[in-house]
């Protein structure tokens, strides 16, 4: 059995050792659909992207022509019938995310609120990552949103697309994730979000579908390793890679439009019980800068 890197925060070492014990050892070359950027021991938030770009010899482009989470929704390989039904407004949001503002509200299940407080105290505030407000927010709170591409200077190809979101009122970073698509071993094309953590990451892979009213449905409800779902990845003290599939944790996002107004509902569940729910209102905006 491997061991987590010892010279780090105790809580990080314990969670990494848990992944090593419960997960599986992997060779990155055999799992291209799962591999994504890992965080540093001491920086995951705004400073991380600069270090990561320097390490990977990539150029940071904040004002690149492509400014969406997904440069082309056609890359999701949805069936023609579903693609023709998908809301034009939803397509516009995903392909030009930098052009939109988000307002959101948060509703916690009181049973799980303690775990949210514990996560925030041990990890989120320190790492500036997965920093979900621990109090329910019944009224809409504005979010700053920015897309930053990391580009290979030799080919001008986008290698990574970071999506930063922070509360407009406080500047508190909520998420700093790397977004794109991947193809599962089954051949299914999915949306992939990677959230760098110390010596590893949390990765959510979501299966796309289109609802009857043209809404995009992204669902991480997989049943086994290799399916859509929630994964932890890390590198141990010897440089070996480990991954764990968390079947009990699921994420479902439904985003649609009505009269050109975009709204979304995101529900996180654990053991089939709702942990918290986000409700978003999305509108075009004047671009903000986070970094």
3-state secondary structure 195-212: EEEECEEEEEEEEEEECC
Cβ atoms of residues 25 and 6 within 8 Å: no
Q: Give the tokens for residue 250.
A: 């699921």
Q: Over the stretch 16-32, which tens digit does the pLDDT of each residue have?
A: 898 999 999 999 999 99
Where does the pLDDT of residue 84 fall: very low under 50, low under 70, confident under 90, or very high at 90 and above?
very high
pTM of the complete model: 0.90
Instruction: Say how many C-beta atoms besides its own lie within 10 A of residue 103's C-beta.
Output: 16
SS3 of residue 64 by DSSP: coil
Could you tell me the pLDDT band of residue 130, with boundaries at 50, 70 and 90? Answer: low
What are 137-155's pLDDT values in tens digits?
667 788 888 899 999 999 9
Q: How far apart are CA 25 and CA 227, in angstroms?
A: 17
| Percentage with pLDDT > 70 across the chain | 86
Pairing status of strand 100-108 against strand 158-167: unpaired
Q: Is the pLDDT confidence value at 114 over 80?
A: no
- HEC string of 104-140 equals EEEEECHHHHHHHHHHHHHHHHHHCCCCCCCCCEEEE
Q: Does the pLDDT of residue 124 top 80, yes or no?
A: no
pLDDT of residue 65: 63
| Neighbour-count burial of 111, counting CB atoms closer than 10 A to its CB (0-12 exposed, 13-18 middle, 19+ buried) | exposed
Statement: residue 136 has pLDDT above 70: no
Closest CA to 97 of 267, 291, 262, 276: 262
pLDDT on residue 134: 65
Residue that the structure tokens 């985003």 belong to: 255
The upper half-sphere exposure of residue 48, i.e. CA atoms within 13 Å in the direction of its Cβ, equals 28
The arithmetic mean of pLDDT across residues 65-79, rounded, is 89
């Amino acid at each position: 059995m491997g061991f987590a890197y010892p010279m780090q925060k105790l809580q990080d070492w314990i969670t990494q050792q848990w992944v090593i014990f419960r997960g599986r050892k992997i060779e990155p070359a055999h799992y291209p659909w799962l591999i994504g950027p890992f965080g540093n021991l001491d920086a995951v938030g705004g400073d991380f992207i600069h270090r990561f770009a320097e390490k990977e010899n990539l150029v940071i482009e904040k004002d690149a022509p492509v400014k969406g989470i997904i440069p082309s929704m056609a890359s999701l390989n949805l069936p023609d019938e579903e693609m023709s039904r998908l809301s034009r407004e939803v397509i516009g949001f995903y392909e030009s995310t930098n052009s939109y503002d988000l307002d959101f509200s948060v509703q916690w299940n009181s049973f799980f609120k303690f775990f949210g407080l514990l996560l925030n105290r041990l990890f989120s505030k320190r790492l500036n990552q997965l920093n979900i407000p621990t109090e329910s927010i019944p009224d809409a709170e504005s979010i700053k949103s920015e897309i930053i591409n990391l580009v290979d200077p030799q080919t001008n190809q986008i290698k990574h697309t970071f999506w930063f979101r922070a509360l407009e009122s406080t500047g508190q970073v909520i998420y700093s994730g790397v977004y794109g698509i991947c193809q599962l071993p089954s051949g299914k094309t999915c949306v992939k979000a990677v959230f760098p953590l110390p010596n590893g990451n949390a990765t959510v892979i979501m299966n796309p579908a289109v609802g009857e009213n043209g809404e995009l449905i992204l669902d991480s409800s997989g049943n086994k390793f290799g399916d859509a779902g929630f994964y932890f990845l890390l590198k141990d003290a010897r440089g070996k890679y480990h991954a764990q599939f968390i079947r009990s944790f699921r994420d479902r996002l439904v985003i649609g439009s009505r009269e050109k107004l975009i709204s979304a509902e995101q529900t996180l569940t654990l053991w089939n019980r709702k942990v918290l729910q986000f409700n978003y209102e999305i509108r075009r905006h004047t671009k903000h800068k986070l970094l």
